[in-house]
Chains A and B, each alone.
Chain A
Amino acid sequence: QVQLQQSGPGLVKPSQTLSLTCAISGDSVSSNTATWNWIRQSPSRGLEWLGRTFYRSKWYNDYALSVKGRITINPDTSKNHFSLQLNSVTPEDTAVYYCVRAGSYFSFDPWGQGTLVTVSS
């Protein structure tokens, strides 16, 4: 049974970098069939897919246009986890952030427990 455990700060100051980590158990970040995603949810923006990392003989990343240029998702094979970094945050980035595994074509399952990140000074 695959489980995802998120960690990271719940409060980030404007203009700084939001950083979260997702530890994987029951699967490998280097899986040739899974992708590893970050999704956020806020009252104003609803559910929003942010991006993913995955391994298919080499590492790939895909990012949503809405955050491209500010986002980095990295795998860490030594720790079997993946991370999210979102730069230059504003209060609009306040949301619950989820790490999620997916099969091909974005069938999201399972989801991490979620982390509320508030952007405020």
Chain B
Amino acid sequence: QSALTQPPSASGSPGQSVTISCTGTSSDVGGYNYVSWHQQHPGKAPKLMIYEVNKRPSGVPDRFSGSKSGNTASLTVSGLQAEDEADYYCSSYVGNNTCVFGGGTKLTVL
């Protein structure tokens, strides 16, 4: 199973919005509403930010939102803050009880 495609980098100024894409196929992202997004700060374990395309776990700020159109899922971070600077990874169920991750996007807050 091939990894999902993410842009290697994204950036925005404090207070702005930035959107990160995650492109797959009809066999993964497009075929199921089971896309998740994880945030990872350097040296730390990833943290779940969005699951099932657009649901936020308790404690995740509503500045983080998810969506999907066709084979591409997106994570939008609104009102950028310095602490949002991190790596972001998408993942998707791909059938046959397995899943796959994206290659990751480094978000820089300018």
Contact = CB atoms under 8 A, between A and B. Distances in A.
A111 B38 CA distance: 11
A113 B100 CA distance: 21
A109 B57 contact: yes
Interface residues of B, number: 24
A108 B97 contact: no
B57 A47 contact: no
Interface residues of A, number: 19
A112 interface: yes
B46 A64 contact: no
26 contacts: A46-B102, A46-B104, A47-B46, A47-B101, A47-B104, A48-B101, A49-B98, A49-B99, A49-B100, A49-B101, A98-B46, A105-B34, A105-B52, A105-B93, A106-B91, A106-B93, A107-B36, A107-B48, A107-B51, A107-B52, A108-B91, A109-B47, A110-B48, A111-B45, A111-B46, A114-B45
